[in-house]
Chain A
Amino acid sequence: DTGVSQNPRHKITKRGQNVTFRCDPISEHNRLYWYRQTLGQGPEFLTYFQNEAQLEKSRLLSDRFSAERPKGSFSTLEIQRTEQGDSAMYLCASSLYEAFFGQGTRLTVV
């Protein structure tokens, strides 16, 4: 296992379109986290899962955002009706003890 995998690495979309990102965690990691990072800032927590249960959501996660983790394995983060302010790096992390991050998906909304 080579670590947390995120796809795609880059996504350019037009404003108003829906986008979906995928995260494959490290095998056997029961926790999965989503973060968002804008230029010059540290990552901001969005949500996390314990197995398939979504246990916490940040107030940053508006109703246009939805995350799923069916069967407690991979996770998807969907953004509906994208806005220019959604342009950011979306990071996924998984943990059994310490959290390990993927390389992120860079979203550009034009």
Chain B
Amino acid sequence: DAKTTQPTSMDCAEGRAANLPCNHSTISGNEYVYWYRQIHSQGPQYIIHGLKNNETNEMASLIITEDRKSSTLILPHATLRDTAVYYCIVSPMNYGGSQGNLIFGKGTKLSVKP
């Protein structure tokens, strides 16, 4: 079973920041937080991951609480193309740096509206 809890759905106005929460209260010390998204009928797309520090890349920012029990994915200026299901996953990093198997939940369906 997935070790994360996410809201089923969220709406966001185009151009505004989308803040997607995720609870992972049973996360282990060696587990990373990964975010993927899946646009309808496509394969999941990697967004970002982190261990305990906040992370930012060209797609999004990841804010992880100090106790690591929750995190928030931030899309700073949502567009209509960001409409997708967003998955928050916790998974260990394997020897050599490769991520472990991903256990997906049902994710959050984000709808960006004009």
B65 within 8 A of A: no
Most buried by B among A41, A42, A93, A103: A42
How far, in angstroms, from A22 to B113 measured CA to CA in the complex? 37
How far, in angstroms, from A31 to B97 measured CA to CA in the complex? 11
Chain B residues within an 8 Å CB radius of A40: 106
Most buried by B among A43, A44, A91, A104: A43
Question: Assuming the A-B contacts A44-B104, A45-B103, are A98 and B49 also in contact, with contact meaning beta carbons closer than 8 angstroms in the complex?
Answer: yes
* B97–chain A nearest beta-carbon distance, Å: 5
Contact call A91/B98, Cβ cutoff below 8 A: no
A74 within 8 A of B: no
B99 within 8 A of A: yes
Contact call A97/B105, Cβ cutoff below 8 A: no
Could you say which of B15-23, B39-47, B70-78 contacts chain A? B39-47
Chain A residues within an 8 Å CB radius of B34: 98
Chain A: residues with Cβ within 8 Å of the partner, total of: 25
Size category of the B interface is 20 to 34
Chain B residues within an 8 Å CB radius of A65: none
Chain A residues within an 8 Å CB radius of B36: 101
Chain B residues within an 8 Å CB radius of A98: 34, 46, 49, 99
* A36–chain B nearest beta-carbon distance, Å: 11
Chain A interface residues toward B at CB < 8 A? 4, 30-31, 33, 35, 40-45, 48, 56, 91, 93, 95-104
Interface pairs (23), CB distance under 8 Å: A30-B98, A31-B98, A40-B106, A42-B105, A42-B106, A44-B104, A45-B103, A91-B44, A93-B43, A93-B44, A95-B99, A96-B97, A97-B98, A97-B99, A98-B46, A98-B49, A99-B102, A100-B46, A101-B36, A101-B43, A102-B43, A103-B42, A104-B42
Query: Apart from A45-B103, A101-B43, A104-B42, what are 15 other A-B pairs with CB-CB below 8 Å?
Result: A30-B98, A33-B101, A33-B102, A40-B106, A42-B87, A43-B102, A44-B104, A96-B97, A97-B97, A97-B98, A99-B99, A100-B46, A101-B45, A101-B46, A103-B42
